[in-house]
Amino acid sequence: MVTNPPYILSANAFNANVSQLAVGLGSIFPANVSAYDTSTTTPVTYNYSMGVQRDIGKGTIVDVKYVGGQSRHLGGRRNLNTLPFGTRFQPQNIDPTATVPNTPYVDNLLRPYPGYGTINLLERNLSSNYNSLQATLNRRLAHGIAVGAAYTYAKSMDYGSDERVASTPDLSPFSRVYGKSTFDQTHIFVANWQYDIPSFGMNNAVKALSRGWQFSGVAAFSSGTPLPLNETTTTGVDLLGGGGGADVQRVNLTCNPNLGHYDKTDLLFFNTSCVSFAGKGDIGNAPKDAVRGPGRSNFDLTLFRNFNLGSERRVMTFRWEVYNAFNHTQFNAIDTTARFDPTTGKIANPTFGQALGAWSARQMQFSLRLRY
């Protein structure tokens, strides 16, 4: 509450000329204030799991379990003083003194509660849930081989805390912001291994050089995270007239924009023909998790050996590490914001639906370390 008056005072001046202003003059309202709902319930989280572990022999353990969680009464922030949709479009709210036609008064003169700017209310009305199948397999080091693998099939859902949308009287926040969490990943698989390479050759010198080498690695595969499909315009025109700004607006979807795994390319990661312009007064029907971003498919490998230099106290270690060993292209950024020409309703940015970035290409490093 330290951001509320009288701790913070902001002076404002309206409808005045610069030459008439003086330091310290102006009104101390409307002020932005914060509030807290004292009647809410304490947040709670329930975690539960049930699993089966079994030794299947040869030093191998299998663990399969269900893991879930529920969170209730989570904190969300809501602006009680946001302009309802269409407020700036009403004839009585147009400033007759403005040099640009159809310019509305400033928002602080049109808010539902005059004399205040934003009124951010913190309340505990949100929730989330998580459900997953988790399986692991681990084989202890035996005969020079150790292997581990983990697989997770999961789904995480929440409401988020979009205060711009939640504050709009004409829009239910729960139907708008509920969906898959921003960190939701349906499939995650990780495998690791270590292999003690046996020595070879009949010559003692060859055996000495070939023994003691170890090869290890980590392979990781995962689904992408959900992404929204938002829209902007080339002119920056106000299409909603309230409700917290143009960033509330999403596109309209005429079909499912998600493509099959093998149909995605760097130039078309989702079906852009399903996307249409949400015009004036239309918030768009796209959910917050309209498409799923790119996943990961990565291998990191290591080859190393310890050389004893006449004593176990003097050891030289050689390491060769390779990241993204197969130089597989892994995208990490997709253009999901459609920029429309409001006059024609057509998409104006040519990169919409394309990959804009990727994780690092293959990298290798060699090292020699002497310990004595």
In this structure, what token pair is assigned to residue 321? 């590490």
- Say how many C-beta atoms besides its own lie within 10 A of residue 20's C-beta: 8
What does the angle CA 170 – CA 165 – CA 355 come to, to the nearest 5 degrees? 135
Closest CA to 195 of 146, 136, 234, 123: 146
**How far apart, in Å, are the Cα atoms of 17 and each of 14, 21, 73?**
9, 7, 49
Where in the sequence is the domain holding 293, given as residue range(s)? 42-73+126-371
Position 158 in a domain: yes
Position 181 in a domain: yes
Count of domains forming the chain: 1
d(CA 223, CA 221): 7
Radius of gyration of the chain (CA): 30
d(CA 360, CA 372): 36
- At residue 321, the pLDDT reads 97
Position 16 in a domain: no
Exposure of 240 by Cβ count < 10 A (0-12 exposed, 13-18 middle, 19+ buried)? buried
d(CA 127, CA 73): 6
pLDDT digits (tens, 9 = 90+) for 151-202: 999 999 998 744 444 444 445 556 678 889 999 999 999 999 999 988 776 6
pLDDT by residue for the chain (372 residues), tens digit each? Answer: 677 877 776 666 666 666 665 554 455 567 888 888 888 889 999 999 999 999 999 889 999 999 999 999 988 888 888 888 899 999 999 999 988 989 999 898 999 998 888 888 888 888 999 999 999 999 998 888 999 999 999 999 998 744 444 444 445 556 678 889 999 999 999 999 999 988 776 677 777 777 789 999 999 999 999 999 989 999 988 888 887 654 578 899 999 999 998 899 999 999 999 999 998 888 889 988 999 999 999 999 999 998 888 777 888 899 999 999 999 999 999 999 999 999 999 999 999 999 999 999 999 999 999 988
**How far apart, in Å, are the Cα atoms of 281 and each of 28, 106, 125, 137, 276?**
33, 19, 28, 54, 14
- At residue 29, the pLDDT reads 67
Position 114 in a domain: no
Position 13 in a domain: no
pLDDT digits (tens, 9 = 90+) for 211-262: 789 999 999 999 999 999 989 999 988 888 887 654 578 899 999 999 998 8
Position 80 in a domain: no
Answer left, alpha or beta for residue 144, where phi above 0 means left and psi between -120 and 50 means alpha. Answer: left
CA dihedral for 326, 219, 68, 50, sign (positive or negative) = positive
- At residue 215, the pLDDT reads 94
Position 308 in a domain: yes
Position 290 in a domain: yes
In this structure, what token pair is assigned to residue 348? 């104006």
Closest CA to 85 of 278, 233, 238: 238
- At residue 76, the pLDDT reads 81
